[in-house]
Amino acid sequence: MLKAISAAVVLTVIITGCTAVEPPKNTAADTGQEEKLESLRKQRDAVVKFFEPMRVRPGDWLDTQREQGETFEEYISANPTLPIDDRWTIYIQPIGRFNSEQLAVIDKVAEYMRAFYSLPVRLNSAKPLGEVPFDKKRLIKYRNNLQINTSYFLDDLLPKLLPNDAAALIAFTNYDLYPEPTRAFVFGQASLTKRTGVWSFYQFADPKTGRYDPKLMLERSLKIAMHETGHMFSMKHCTKYECLMSGTNHLAETDRRPLDNCPECMAASRHMVSRSSMVASRS
């Protein structure tokens, strides 16, 4: 049975499409919006020559998945989910029990998000996993490893915990995750529209010793948390450059990725941050 499970590791986004999507309130109607967008386009175009195109290696995400990528213009036309006047706090919700090293990493991730997005970031107290339906968990017997389907977080647990003023709610957990029955596991997953996401520490440990390298754990956590948060602000996977928003199939690929965005994704994230600053200044 395990042979049927793809060895591919996915850092991905899947839209379940099973619930109504709240229409984002932000539009291009704000004063000066078009000038800001034009300025971001110019900044993008000016730095493009400094970036190498994505090189796909055997076993990488794009070696196994077909994806279109997304330009800045496509991102804007898709009317992304962004912070709005009454919804502009990012919440971090730890789920499970954590050791002091993991808690310190979560603290650092919260600090980084706060600095990057110019938004309030609230780190909640840890909550237990709760009762997971039998069809949303599985036991990998040879590792004695309980895995939780990400849809339990994205569709069941997090929507109930989503505060009204949340720009996004991301759960951190140390339970191992899987996105669908054919996948071996996943580092994290988020919705482009529902403002919810989840990621796990589980796969960061050395498979032989079960120990975490503190530096790698922080780097991987920052990359995956920021990648999933990008998804929660409607950013799709990047295919043009080696970029924070590129999908990854394995930890070596994750480790190769920068914590920064490429020119296209940088323009998208700057647009998001400028919205954040505008919203925050009104409060």
Q: Does 40 bind Zn ion (CB under 5 A)?
A: no
CA-closest candidate to residue 158, choices 111, 208, 194, 119: 194
Q: Does 245 bind Zn ion (CB under 5 A)?
A: yes
Q: Does 238 bind Zn ion (CB under 5 A)?
A: yes
Q: Does 13 bind Zn ion (CB under 5 A)?
A: yes
Q: How far is the CB of 240 from Zn ion (least distance, A)?
A: 6
Q: Does 10 bind Zn ion (CB under 5 A)?
A: no
Q: How far is the CB of 249 from Zn ion (least distance, A)?
A: 11
Q: How far is the CB of 243 from Zn ion (least distance, A)?
A: 3
Binding mask 186-225 for Zn ion (x = CB under 5 A): ----------------------------------------
Binding test (CB under 5 A) with Zn ion, winner from 243, 268, 272, 279:
243
Question: Between the CA atoms of 84, 89, 90 and 92, what dihedral angle is there, to the nearest 10 degrees?
Answer: -150
Residues contacting residue 179 through CB under 8 Å, at least 6 positions apart: 10, 12, 14, 149, 150, 151, 186, 189
Q: How far is the CB of 253 from Zn ion (least distance, A)?
A: 12
Nearest CB to Zn ion, comparing residues 123 and 262: 262
Near Zn ion by CB under 5 A, which window of 54-62, 113-121, 232-240, 248-256?
232-240
Q: Does 262 bind Zn ion (CB under 5 A)?
A: yes
- Where on the phi/psi map is residue 210: left (φ > 0), alpha (ψ -120 to 50), or beta? left
Q: Does 232 bind Zn ion (CB under 5 A)?
A: no
Q: How far is the CB of 164 from Zn ion (least distance, A)?
A: 26
Nearest CB to Zn ion, comparing residues 156 and 242: 242
Q: Does 267 bind Zn ion (CB under 5 A)?
A: no
Q: Does 95 bind Zn ion (CB under 5 A)?
A: no
Q: How far is the CB of 31 from Zn ion (least distance, A)?
A: 29
Binding test (CB under 5 A) with Zn ion, winner from 265, 267, 268, 279:
265
Nearest CB to Zn ion, comparing residues 69 and 279: 69
Q: How far is the CB of 209 from Zn ion (least distance, A)?
A: 28
Q: Write out the residues near Zn ion by the rule CB under 5 A.
A: 12-13, 238, 243, 245, 262, 265
